[in-house]
Amino acid sequence: MNADSFRHLYNYHFRENRKLWDSYITSLSQDQFTLPIAYSLGSVRDHIVHLTEVDDMWFSELKGLTEPAIPFIVDGDDRIKIRQQWDAVEQMMSDYLADLRDEMLFAKPIVLEEDKDLTTWQVLLHVVNHGTDHRAQILRLLSDLGVKTGPQDFVFYLYEQPT
């Protein structure tokens, strides 16, 4: 386990997130994007906002912050602003990962009581796993809306982007 492995894993995470936006979400109608759904977190919009906020929260905690590094300011259903927020969070995460060193992986940088015993590598793995879970949920929602989606398997990324 080393920092470069996590950077590689996050390249996959970011690619799949961007593919979700660029291949599927941008082509949804506003009604489809905000349609209330009685599954998991609700609408596609609500899932996207959740992913953005959670990624920001975890990486803010890794940086020793108790508040989000990029406070979520988008109210309503403006996809352009939500995407800008998403991109800002991804950039903040990328900046953190660029400075990640192997010895940081075993540190316990989080001060919040519930998470204080988590190591950096555990949080980094959790965030990618959480993203995969919610992308799968979003892909299901999109399928229910009649959108033809594709796989998000890590192995397909590896075939295209070997280490």
The Cα 124–Cα 134 span in angstroms is 16
Q: Quick one: pLDDT at residue 135?
A: 95
Judged against a pLDDT cut of 80, whether residue 160 lies above it is answered with yes
Q: Look over the chain and give the mean of its residue pLDDT values, rounded to a whole number.
A: 91
The Cα 34–Cα 102 span in angstroms is 41
Q: What is the pLDDT of residues 51-101, one digit of tens each?
A: 999 999 999 999 988 888 777 766 666 888 899 999 999 999 999 999 999
Residues listed for the chain: 163
Domain 3-160 sits in which CATH superfamily?
dinb family like domain (1.20.120.450)
Tokens of 134: 């919610």
The Cα 8–Cα 41 span in angstroms is 29
Q: Quick one: pLDDT at residue 70?
A: 77
Q: Quick one: pLDDT at residue 5?
A: 95
Confidence (pTM): 0.91
Q: What is the pLDDT of residues 112-132, one digit of tens each?
A: 889 999 999 999 999 999 999
Alpha carbon of 53 to those of 27, 47, 79: distances in Å? Answer: 23, 10, 15
**Every domain of the chain and the residues it spans:** 3-160
> Which residue in 21, 142, 9 sits closest to 87, CA to CA?
21
